[in-house]
Each structure stands twice: as structure tokens, then as C-alpha cells.
Amino acid sequence: SSIPGTYKNLKLVWDGIYHTASASAFDVRLNNNSSSNYQIRGLLTENQGVVSFVGSDTSLGGPNVNSVGCAFGYYANASSTTYIQQNYGVMTIYDYASTSKFKTVEYVYGYYRAGTSYNICRSVVLYNSTTAITSIDIFRISGTAALTNATSTSLKLYGVN
């Protein structure tokens, strides 16, 4: 929260993210906006198949559009030591401080859906709001797990000029 509007773009980078319990899902909202302002276009690979998803939703990953498209995992691995199965990704929010334009968000991430498959997702989202972005909210959609990260890993937000 309280993101200053002094950069051109924002870049969120994460690695080693996992859920403390299975059967939970986490996603991202901008400015804690839960309206259907997220116009999503994405591709998801799961079990060696490719699924495209398109639609409007109440968060960036589009759990209503495609349940396994949640940016921080849908039933993701619940282990602090199985690094290959944890969530890794990068998200760029373009022109985030503008008060006259909609925002374009581009992201790619990968994680292991507990017991079933490795998922890799690439999406582009049009955020239908001219409000400057001052917060990025990671929230739990379902389940009871907490979102945490393994030793020597991180979640970082960068301002990019």
C-alpha cells in the first residue's frame, strides 16, 4: 500500500512462494478493487495441455474465468523445501500512476498444483480504471492457508523508469 506515483511502471517479482496448507487459492487485486474491472486474456499450460481463457473478473488471475489461473496459486504446493514446486513469477503494471488511462498488466508465473500438475500461466489484463494504483493486494480466495515464502526467497516490488 501507499505506492508512490513516481515511476513509469511497477514490476512485482516473486519466488519460493507456497501455501501453508493445501486446498487454498490466492490472487491479486489492484487498489483492493473487487469490481469486475479486470478484462483477462491468458494461456495456461496444465498436464501438457494448453487452455486459453478470456473474460471479466474481480481479480487479476480470473478465478471465475479459469479457476487455476490465480496468480499466487490454486491449490498450490504446501512445502517450504520442494523448491521446484513453489510459485515463481513476474508481473508488470504499465502506466500505473496515470489518472486518465486504463492500466495494462502483464504477468507470467508457474507453480505446482498439489498432487496433479505443473502450471504455467501467461496473461494480459486490462484494468478498467483510471485511478492511479496505490496498492497491490494479495488475498486468499478459498481455503485456510497462509501465503508464505521459503528460505532465501522473496516477493519484491520495483518502480521502473
Q: pTM for this one? A: 0.93
For 33-36, which contacts have Cβ atoms below 8 Å and span 24 or more sequence positions? 33/129, 34/58, 34/59
pLDDT at 23 (0 to 100): 83
The pLDDT tens digits of the residues spanning 13-26 come to 999 999 988 888 89
Q: Please give the single-letter amino acid code of residue 71.
A: A
Helices (H), the chain: none
35 pLDDT band, cuts 50/70/90, is very high
The span from the CA of 40 to the CA of 45, in Å, is 16
The span from the CA of 12 to the CA of 66, in Å, is 22
The pLDDT tens digits of the residues spanning 74-122 come to 888 888 888 888 899 999 999 999 999 999 999 999 988 877 788 899 9
Quote the cell numbers at residue 39: 478484462
Average confidence (pLDDT) over 50-58? 89
Closest alpha carbon to 26 in 61, 91, 73, 95: 73
Report which DSSP code applies to 132.
Answer: P
pLDDT at 84 (0 to 100): 85
Burial of 140 (0-12, 13-18, 19+ CB in 10 A): middle
- Residue 66 pLDDT > 80: no
pLDDT at 127 (0 to 100): 97
Closest alpha carbon to 55 in 128, 108, 118: 128
Quote the cell numbers at residue 78: 504446501
